[in-house]
A and B are shown apart, each in its own frame.
Chain A
Amino acid sequence: MSKDLKKLTKSDLNSMFIRSNFHQGSWNYERMQALGYCFAMVPIIKRLYTGDERKEAIKRHLEFFNTQPFVTAPILGVTAAMEEQKANGAAIDDGAINGIKIGLMGPLAGVGDPIFWGTLRPVAAALGASIALTGSILGPILFFLIFNAIRLGIRWWGVTYGYSKGTTIVADMAGGRLQKLTEGASILGLFIMGALVNRWTSINVPLVVSTITKADGTVEITTVQTILNSLLPGLLPLLLTFACMKLLKNKVNAVWIIFGIFILGIVGYGLGILA
Chain B
Amino acid sequence: MEINALQLILIFIIACIAGMGSVLDEFQTHRPLIACTLIGLVLGDLKTGIIIGGTLEMMALGWMNIGAAMAPDAALASIISTIVVIAGKQDVSAGIALAIPIAAAGQVLTILARTITVFFQHQADRAVETGNLKIIDFCHIGALLIQALRVSIPAVIVAMFVGTSVVQNMLASIPDVVTGGLRVGGGVVVVVGYAMVINMMEAKHLMPFFFLGFVVAAIANLNLVALGVIGTVAAIIYIQLSPKFNQTTVAAQSVSNNDADDEL
Contact = CB atoms under 8 A, between A and B. Distances in A.
**Chain B binds chain A:** yes
B23 A27 contact: yes
Contacts of B183: 265, 269
Contacts of B51: 132-133, 135
Contact of A144 (B28, B184, B194, B245): B28
Interface stretch (A2-10, A89-97, A210-218, A247-255): A247-255
A143 B57 CA distance: 11
Contact of A262 (B24, B97, B103, B194): B97
B100 interface: yes
Contacts of B212: 191, 194
A147 B28 contact: yes
A136 B24 contact: no
A166 interface: no
B47 A264 contact: no
A118 B61 CA distance: 9
B218 A198 contact: yes
Interface residues of A, number: 111
B53 A190 contact: no
Interface string A110-126: 00011001100111011
A130 B234 CA distance: 23
Interface residues of B, number: 113
Contacts of B182: 262, 265-266
Contacts of B227: 191-192, 195
B13 interface: no
B185 interface: yes
A27 B192 contact: no
A191 B231 CA distance: 6
B137 A29 contact: no
Nearest to B176: A269
A258 B195 CA distance: 12
A255 B217 contact: no
Q: Is the interface of A mostly helix, strand, loop or mixed?
A: helix
A39 B137 contact: yes
B18 interface: no
Nearest to B129: A55
A24 B25 contact: yes
B55 interface: yes
Interface stretch (A76-84, A157-165, A219-227, A231-239): A231-239
Contacts of A193: 194, 197-198, 210, 213
B157 interface: no
A270 B224 CA distance: 34
Does more than half of chain B's interface fall in helix, strand or loop, or is it mixed?
Answer: helix
Contact of A136 (B50, B203, B211): B50
A104 B216 CA distance: 38
Given A187-B235, A194-B214, A258-B189, A241 B33 contact: no
B121 interface: yes
Contacts of A232: 218
Given A26-B143, A29-B68, A185-B235, A197 B26 contact: no
Interface string A23-44: 1111111111011101100100
A35 B61 contact: no
Interface stretch (B4-12, B110-118, B163-171, B256-264): B110-118
B66 interface: yes
B122 to A, nearest CB: 8
B149 interface: no
A185 B55 CA distance: 25
Nearest to A128: B33
A203 B189 contact: no
A202 B191 CA distance: 11
Interface of A: 21-32, 34-36, 38-39, 42, 45-46, 50-52, 54-55, 58-59, 62, 66, 69, 109, 113-114, 117-118, 121-123, 125-133, 135-137, 139-140, 143-144, 147-148, 151, 176, 179-180, 183-203, 232-234, 236-238, 240-242, 244-245, 248-249, 254-255, 257-259, 261-270, 274-275
A-B residue pairs, 7 tightest by C-beta? A194-B213, A265-B185, A266-B181, A132-B54, A191-B231, A26-B143, A244-B195
Interface of B: 20, 23-28, 31, 33-34, 37, 46-47, 50-51, 53-55, 57-59, 61-64, 66-68, 71-72, 97, 100-101, 103-104, 107, 114-115, 117-118, 120-122, 124-125, 127-131, 133, 136-137, 139-144, 147, 177-178, 180-201, 203, 206-207, 209-218, 223-225, 227-228, 230-232, 234-236, 238-239, 242, 244-245
Given A26-B117, A191-B235, 17 more contacts: A21-B24, A24-B24, A25-B23, A58-B128, A114-B201, A117-B197, A125-B61, A127-B228, A144-B33, A186-B203, A190-B207, A191-B227, A192-B227, A195-B217, A195-B224, A196-B61, A203-B187
